[in-house]
Amino acid sequence: MILLVDSGSTKCDWIAVDKDGNQLLDKLRTKGLNPAILSEKKLKKTIKKSKELSAHRHTVTHVFFYGAGCGTENPRLLLKGVLEEFFPNAEVDVNEDTLAAVYATVNDKTEAAVVCIQGTGSNCSYYDGNTLHQRVKSLGYTLMDDASGNYYGKQLIRDYYFNRMPTPIRVAFEDKYNLDSDYIKYNLYKQPNPNAYLASFAEFMFLNKDSDYIVEMIKDGFRVFARNMIMQYEEELKTVPVHFAGSIAFFSEEEIREVAKEFGFTVGNFTRRPIEGLVKFHTEALKIE
């Protein structure tokens, strides 16, 4: 059994297939496994909580894991050790989530492209058709993650408290969320995964896209992301497209295309969940071995 895993900070999708790519189990979902923000104990607890994974842990032969927080060595090795312990008969490969986005969005595995992730967090890389290149090391949601779910969640809360929301949007926001200041601070400073908590507010944008205020918020956030991240590859952008993965990007396609025209780069493919694109890639690779 081969496990293909795509994890953000909020949620983690698991697909079990055989070497021919046939799905063996219903797609599984656990909480996100971000080793940059979760302890070893928390990572183990999250995996063990899945009855399906526990039932098949000894029959898994390969684990291909792509996740947020796996772009630096220490967190990557931490998670790799946790997975090797839980799946004792498996070869475990752990990579950053950007690589999954590459495999899921490029038209051909030799195609060069700039590939962006916009989900709970955000990132941007250049894939030259063989190797992934990153010119900005992510410092996480506190300092970076422009145009991500947690970025927009933070913007919404700030606008609410600074009285910048139009009245109809403000009323709708109050109806949907607990906006008590003590409750918000408790979730931000005393609960795990504050980035995922912030990202939970981003859904509000897509439920209210008939508002000019929301549309401009989406475009302003993407302008920041384009300026800080995509334009790091200004030379490459002259000849390659920019692909997007993640829910925020998927539901913001129209706004992204508008801003892309302002910056002068070509928009390529959008995928909401990269994991489906990983099945074909890895089953074909295993047949070659």
- Whole-number Cα distances in Å, 119 to 40, 133, 198: 24, 20, 12
pLDDT at 258: 98
pLDDT at 108: 82
pLDDT at 35: 94
Q: What is the mean pLDDT of each run of 10 residues along the chain (289 residues)?
A: 88 89 89 92 95 95 92 93 97 90 88 94 93 88 94 98 97 98 97 91 96 98 98 97 95 98 97 80 64
Rounded distance between C-alpha atoms, residue 6 and residue 276, angstroms: 9
Q: What 8-state DSSP symbol labels residue 88?
A: T
pLDDT at 287: 57
| Domains of the chain and any CATH numbers | 2-101+274-288 (3.30.420.40)
pLDDT at 97: 81
Rounded distance between C-alpha atoms, residue 250 and residue 255, angstroms: 10
- Please provide the DSSP assignment of 219-263 as one string: HHHHHHHHHHTGGGGTTGGGTS-EEEESHHHHTTHHHHHHHHHHH
Burial of residue 96 (CB within 10 Å: 0-12, 13-18, 19+) is buried
pLDDT at 285: 66
Q: Which residues make beta-bridge pairs with 2?
A: 17, 62
pLDDT at 288: 47
Strands 62-67 and 91-96: parallel
Strands 62-67 and 28-31: unpaired
Q: Report the predicted TM-score, pTM, of the whole model to 2 decimal places.
A: 0.80
Q: Which residues contact 198 (CB under 8 A, 6 or more apart)?
A: 141, 149, 150, 151, 153, 154, 157, 188
